Structure 1
Amino acid sequence: MTVVIKVGGARAVDPAGALADVASLVADGEQVVVVHGGSTKVDETLERLGVEPEYVETPSGVVGRFTDETTMEVFEMAFGHLNTQLVAGLQSEGVDAVGLTGVDGKLLYGPRKSAVRVVEDGKKKIRRGDHSGTIKQVNGDLLETLLGDGYTPVAGPPMAGDDDGEVIPVNTDADRSAAAIAGELDAQLVLLTDVEGVYADPDDPSTLIESVETASDWDALEDAAEGFMGRKIMAAEEALDGGASEVVVADANAESPILSALDGGGTHVHASALEQDTDQTATEEQ
């Protein structure tokens, strides 16, 4: 079984424990793909350059970064730095890691969204000039070749965006990038973040949702996911729909964060939850 690990880019996340766990898994013969975020690093770099980061809300309520041309240049710079640091960290752990962006080999490929629908002051508007994209294809052959040759891929945005036949680097969400890769490889996906998992009450860690196996479990999970966690649940759904066997949302700062997540820690979302939800929807529509 291949394991896809998404390492968060939040300021509060220390990747050291995750890198040590990746080394342990690889030493045990497991195939691992690491996907990283880095929005905090982008914001910090923009701040040093005197550029105010801009976030917009979509009509569905999802908050995301508006990536204009200047922000895209900073994005490439910041993510390139983070990728190199993670590769170096894994090399120090004895892992033969290889750094990739979604542009390399069209690892992550899809149409550029030059305009996005946003909500401003309660009104729906169209914002043009955005450099973001929607992943439609994952180059699984490239990943499988690297894994088969004993390498550990370390991948992150940007993705290869198709802009009227021209390929340009564009922004895409790191959680959803990891989901697309996990689905393509029929892998187990571990989304590491700065909390223990998904809480039924977002303000109460004692309400951790440990397992999601049924349609009603899934409904409760969606109801509980607020703010940034909503994007992770969206990624979990896309991963499972794509073919991933299981998704775990777990604490990046826990002791042995990946190993503990695979051993039952965090919130485990099983494919059966979506299968039952789909069956229930089909029954209701008949």
Structure 2
Amino acid sequence: MTYDTTPHDARAARQMPEDDADPRVRADGGERGDGKPPVVVKVGGARAVDPAGAVEDVADLVAEGREVVVVHGGSTAVDDTLEELGEEPTYVETPGGVVGRFTDERTMEVFTMVMPGKLNTDLTVTLRNAGVDAVGLSGVDGGLLSGPRKSAVRVIEDGKKKIKRGDHSGKITDVNADLLELLLKEGHTPVVTVPMLADDGVAVNADADRAAAAVAGALGAELVVLTDVAGVYRDPDDESTLIGSVATPAEFDALKDAAEGFMTKKVMAAKEALDGGATTVIVADANADDPILAALGGTGTHIEASAVADGEEVDG
């Protein structure tokens, strides 16, 4: 997957903020300039996701004075590059039923080349062409995303639980929120991607949805997770069963039961974000008109902090 770096006509005339413009104030622990929390936008990396609408919405939000952090994935592009190099991507299933990438040393080399090397650069350029003062960052930069490295992962193979070693991935437990706050205060829009920095000083893979959740939690933000469907459905084959609002623990249990496949991780990430301090999580359609603005306005699946019970650890 690549991001289009051609400016959109509707945004071509937008100017960068002038040096003497009033900076958006964010006192420590206080209200921001517009009295609203930041927006963290997770842009998916699937082939079916077109980031153009999200880019325009980010530009509009920033022009209105809203603080925005963009977090992006790109697993499809990693898989494509591996295949071009004659390598076969490896996916595993955890005992909890979550399917994820197994990142060995060779995959990690390709991952680092594609995610921060190409996709992050492309998206940062696209946002800048849209009038956004975007700053590209990986989780390694400034120790932005860090945590313990996984020495092994538990997987299901042939119906049996096994331990698979040699994984180059980790669990994000710390976010350098001060770095993000500094950039936001100065009018920049951080564009964040994994890898993260493991506790042994090595760059390792981490799930992009959960990276966005960690960032949103650390900033007390609204998290908008853009994907290739309109939200979470009670029946994935019936669009009329979209779950619009989740506000109680019972409703969240029903949401977890409804989530299948890739959506399982997004619901898991939603809980982590809300447990970490995010105000709301919205799962919405990246390909809709004005996808971020529409999601903030009520479309998609809205998961409120009240839906998450305290004390339940999420592991994947």
TM-score band by shorter chain is over 0.9
1:127 lines up with 2:161 in the alignment: no
| In 2: Cα distance, 1:162 partner to 1:49 partner | 30
1:32 lines up with 2:68 in the alignment: yes
1:55-134 map, 5 Å:
55-80=91-116, 81-134=118-171
| In 1: Cα distance, 2:252 partner to 2:234 partner | 12
| In 1: Cα distance, 2:210 partner to 2:249 partner | 22
2:10 counterpart residue number: none
1:45 counterpart residue number: 81
2:282 counterpart residue number: 248
Q: Which amino acid aligns with 2:210?
A: R
C-alpha offsets along residues 201-232 of structure 1, whole Å, 9 cap, x if unaligned? Answer: 01111111000111221111111101100000
| In 2: Cα distance, 1:123 partner to 1:195 partner | 32
1:188 lines up with 2:227 in the alignment: no
1:152 to 179, 186, 189: 189
1:199 lines up with 2:236 in the alignment: no
In the alignment of these two chains, the number of paired residues is 275
**Ranges in structure 2 where 5+ consecutive residues have no aligned partner:** 1-36
| In 2: Cα distance, 1:27 partner to 1:150 partner | 10
Structure with a larger share of its residues in strand:
1
1:226 lines up with 2:260 in the alignment: yes
1:9-28 map, 5 Å:
9-28=45-64
1:174 lines up with 2:211 in the alignment: no
| In 2: Cα distance, 1:250 partner to 1:129 partner | 35
| In 2: Cα distance, 1:95 partner to 1:266 partner | 25
1:284 counterpart residue number: none
Q: Which amino acid aligns with 1:243?
A: G
| In 1: Cα distance, 2:306 partner to 2:236 partner | 24
C-alpha offsets along residues 93-133 of structure 1, whole Å, 9 cap, x if unaligned? Answer: 01000000000011000111121111111111111111000
1:271 lines up with 2:305 in the alignment: yes
Where do 4+ consecutive residues of structure 1 move more than 3 Å?
none
Deviation, 1:278, is 4.4
**Ranges in structure 1 where 5+ consecutive residues have no aligned partner:** 282-286
Q: Which amino acid aligns with 1:234?
A: M
1:5 lines up with 2:12 in the alignment: no
| In 2: Cα distance, 1:198 partner to 1:119 partner | 25
Q: Which amino acid aligns with 2:277?
A: G
| In 2: Cα distance, 1:9 partner to 1:84 partner | 14
| In 2: Cα distance, 1:220 partner to 1:264 partner | 20
Aligned CA distance change for structure 1 residues 269 and 140 (closer, same or farther; 3 Å): same
CA RMSD of aligned residues (A): 1.1
Q: Which amino acid aligns with 1:154?
A: V
| In 1: Cα distance, 2:232 partner to 2:159 partner | 29
SS at match of 2:45: coil
Give the alignment's TM-score, normalised by structure 1.
Answer: 0.94
Identical aligned pairs, as a percentage?
Answer: 69
1:210 counterpart residue number: 244
SS at match of 1:79: helix
Stretch moving more, 143-152 or 110-119 = 110-119
Give the alignment's TM-score, normalised by structure 2.
Answer: 0.86
Q: Which amino acid aligns with 2:136?
A: G
| Contact 2:244-2:301 at 8 Å conserved across structures | yes
Q: Which amino acid aligns with 1:132?
A: S
1:260 counterpart residue number: 294
